């Protein structure tokens, strides 16, 4: 016997009370489709070039990963600079990029983990520690610290 035939032979009669709910007017839903930009990343360490489509309201790194692209990262919070790239073309919005000085942002560096695309983008990954050196290198190797501790007293 099929399920349909079973249902016909034994109709459900649950004797449940009926309720009448007051009419509810639901707010009109508006679906917003964010603009999408083409982001091309030249991965200098592997020599590969990746192109992904990234909506304006999505982080570039996360969106690239969702499209099967593996790019450098560590903290995912805009702090460590592992995901830093140099923008060759285009603009990003990166209000949470606390690991990047205003100077380096001006020079076109961006942290992909917290960057939203604002146009089509061409970018290249940094050399290891490039951003770190640019940002902090001037503070190191300039003092009296020499090999062997304790520090000299002169
Ligand atoms: S992964 Fe650390 S700053 Fe982006």
- Domain ranges for the chain, please list them: 36-135
Candidates 131, 130, 115; CA nearest to 58 is: 115
User: Where is pLDDT greater, at 83 or 16?
Assistant: 83
88 Cβ closer than 6 Å to some ligand 1 atom: no
111 Cβ closer than 6 Å to some ligand 1 atom: yes
Q: For the purposes of burial, counting CB atoms within 10 Å of the CB of 99, is it exposed (0-12), middle (13-18) or buried (19 or more)?
A: buried
**Quick one: which atom of ligand 1 is closest to the CA of 81?**
3
What value does the mean pLDDT take over residues 139-151? 65
**Quick one: which atom of ligand 1 is closest to the CA of 78?**
3
Q: Which two tokens stand for residue 121?
A: 């983008």
Q: pLDDT at position 23, please?
A: 80
Q: What is the DSSP letter of 80?
A: S
DSSP annotation string for 4-33:
HHHHHHS-----PPP--PPP--PPPP---P
Q: Please give the Cα distance from 64 to 43 (Å, whole number).
A: 13
> Ligand 1 atom 3: the closest Cα is on which residue?
78
What value does the mean pLDDT take over residues 25-32? 72
Q: Please give the Cα distance from 118 to 89 (Å, whole number).
A: 11
Q: Which two tokens stand for residue 41?
A: 């990343």
pTM, two decimals, is: 0.72
**Quick one: which atom of ligand 1 is closest to the CA of 61?**
4
Intra-chain end-to-end CA distance of the chain, in Å: 99
* Structure confidence at residue 74 as a pLDDT band (50, 70, 90): very high
Candidates 128, 122, 141; CA nearest to 80 is: 128
83 Cβ closer than 6 Å to some ligand 1 atom: yes
CA of 141 to the centre of ligand 1 (A): 25
CATH code given to domain 36-135: 3.10.20.30
């Amino acid at each position: 016997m099929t399920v349909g035939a079973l249902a016909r032979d034994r109709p459900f009669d649950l004797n449940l009370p009926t309720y009448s709910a007051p009419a509810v007017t639901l707010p009109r839903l508006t679906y917003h489709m964010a603009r999408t930009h083409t982001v091309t990343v030249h991965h200098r360490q592997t020599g590969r070039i990746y192109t992904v489509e990234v909506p304006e309201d999505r982080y570039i790194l996360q969106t690239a990963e969702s499209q099967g692209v593996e790019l450098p990262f560590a903290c995912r919070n805009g702090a460590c600079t592992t995901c830093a790239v140099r923008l060759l073309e285009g603009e990003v919005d990166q209000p949470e990029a606390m690991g990047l000085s205003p100077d380096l942002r001006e020079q076109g560096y961006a942290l992909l983990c917290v960057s939203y695309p604002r146009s089509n983008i061409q970018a290249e990954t940094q050399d290891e520690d490039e951003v770190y050196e640019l940002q902090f290198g001037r503070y190191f190797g300039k003092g009296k610290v020499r090999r062997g501790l304790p520090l000299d007293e002169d």
